[in-house]
Amino acid sequence: MSPKNIIQMVPLILIPFEATFFSIPFFFITSMLLYILKPQVGIVLVAFLGSIVLDILRVMPVGSTALALFSAFLLVEIMRGEVIFTDYKLATIFIFIASFGYGKIFQYSDNILIYAIIFSSVYLFISYFYRRSSWLK
């Protein structure tokens, strides 16, 4: 299995942890991040299946996470090509707002400090690891 395929599976690996005790929507965040960086059908499929499984495990209305996630993907697609996603800072802010909103609606933690710490790490990942590595390219 190539590193690319392993990274695509990261959202799925996080599901049992998120359905048990994570209070931050990591599945949503990682799916958004991977979709912005690499909008491939494999990632879309993983995101869809994962969101259904997550809803079943969290005893949420099945399909609700998929609706939220794919609405966000659609918004990304509408905005892609415009100025916003050529700048990774703006992409990080977009994921931050989307995941905070998702977390508020779907009963995750609403501690803004935790989100700020996570997204600072996301920004560092995008800024340094993605640009300097060929794994995701």
Partner 1 sequence: MRKQYVILLGFLAFAFLLFLLRGLPLFNGLYSGVQNVFSGPKSAIYKLKTGIVGGENSEMERLKKQNDSLSKKFADYTKTIRDNEALRSQFETVETSEYKLLPAEIIGFIGRLNEPSEFVIRVGKNNGVKRGMAVISGLDLVGKISQVSESYSRVVLLSNEAFTEVARTSENGSLGIVTGHRDFILLAQVSIKDKISENELVMTRGAGETIDSLVPAGLRIGKVTSIYKNASMPYQTARLSSSVNISKLETVFVVLGF
Residues at the interface with partner 1 (CB under 8 A):
16-17, 19-21, 23, 39, 41, 44, 48, 51-53, 56-64, 66-67, 70-71, 73-74, 77, 81, 107-111
Q: How far is the CB of 128 from partner 1 (least distance, A)?
A: 27
Q: How far is the CB of 15 from partner 1 (least distance, A)?
A: 8
Residues 115, 24: contact at Cβ < 8 Å? yes
The nearer residue to partner 1, 117 or 124, going by C-beta atoms, is: 117
The nearer residue to partner 1, 106 or 130, going by C-beta atoms, is: 106
Residue 5 corresponds to which tokens in the numbers above? 């395929």
